[in-house]
Amino acid sequence: MNWNDQVVLVTGGTGSFGKKFIEVLMREHNPRKLIVFSRDELKQHEMQAAGYNQANLRYFLGDVRDRERLVRAMHGVDIVVHAAALKQVPACEYNPMEAIKTNIIGTSNVVEAAMDAGVKKMMALSTDKAVNPVNLYGATKLAAEKLTVQSNAYAGGLATRFSCVRYGNVVGSRGSVVPVFLKQRDFGTITITDDRMTRFWLSLEQGVGFVISCIEQMEGGEVFVPKLPSMKVIDLARAIAPQATINVIGIRPGEKLHEVLISEDEARHTVELEKLFVVQPAEAIWFGYSWQEKGKLLENGFRYSSDNNPEWLDLEGIREYVAPFEQAYRDGTLEG
């Protein structure tokens, strides 16, 4: 796939993922045009002031809740990366309809606009919280996944293909626990909700690289899941603040002890490759079902969760992930 010929639009383009995606894509692939679609004029202005102002970069104000605006923005677009979402679990719990409007209806609008505009590929970002969801955020992302994957059936003879990527916690992204722990360290006490808690772990750069790779490979209908290391949240606290006191304050509503990236039910139609899993569509009524020729089907009862993962980060491995955010914190430039 030649990115130089592609016009790319990123919803949520001023968020943590969106900014890193734009940085990497411009640096390594230089698309013909890249459109930043987001609703925050201040963040767009700040991005331009920070040097995101190349000649092939465009800024488009709009909200994924506004289907007509999306149709206008997607005119002539080849690839859509759908990263816009409300993702703070407590905020989604307290404002459920707002989460539904952005994460579910907004995804539906992106899908329909992409079909109407003749976009070639749409890749939606999902989360481990969409698997067996216990909070509204996870439920909305599960619905968004289903909307995206099943929309391949509606595409019919049209060119548009829809897929998802699903991965775990991104270290240092907005809402990440890393900036919280760094700030708490100054006071000598770190708070965690449960000392048994585990999470999947990846960097923004890894997430962006994975999305780009999956866009290049997608046929339509897949959910791509990277193979990721797990870490214990208590080890993260110890890696960041080894001298601090750790207070266990109790698990919060809507929070899991361990996250799951592939459930037992999905595993029946999931293919394992060297660096990723591909969840094939449950019903092979269109395409996206040829991956079993490229990898191996999973064994019965397989479950990919953060507590049964064969790959774990030790304290030194965690410190390597956290090091850039330590420096940003010292410089006063850390977002969180």
Q: Which residues are catalytically annotated? A: 129
Largest CA distance in the chain: 61
Tokens 């690289």 label which residue?
Answer: 209
Residue of 122, 126, 150 whose CA lies nearest to 137: 126
Rounded Cα distance between 258 and 263, Å, is: 12
Neighbours of 94 (CB within 10 A): 11
Cβ–Cβ < 8 Å for 15, 39? no
Q: Which segments within 273-320 are labelled E, that is strand? A: 276-279, 296-297, 304-305
Cβ neighbours for 58, distance < 8 A, ≥ 6 positions apart: 33, 34, 35, 36
Rounded Cα distance between 334 and 336, Å, is: 7
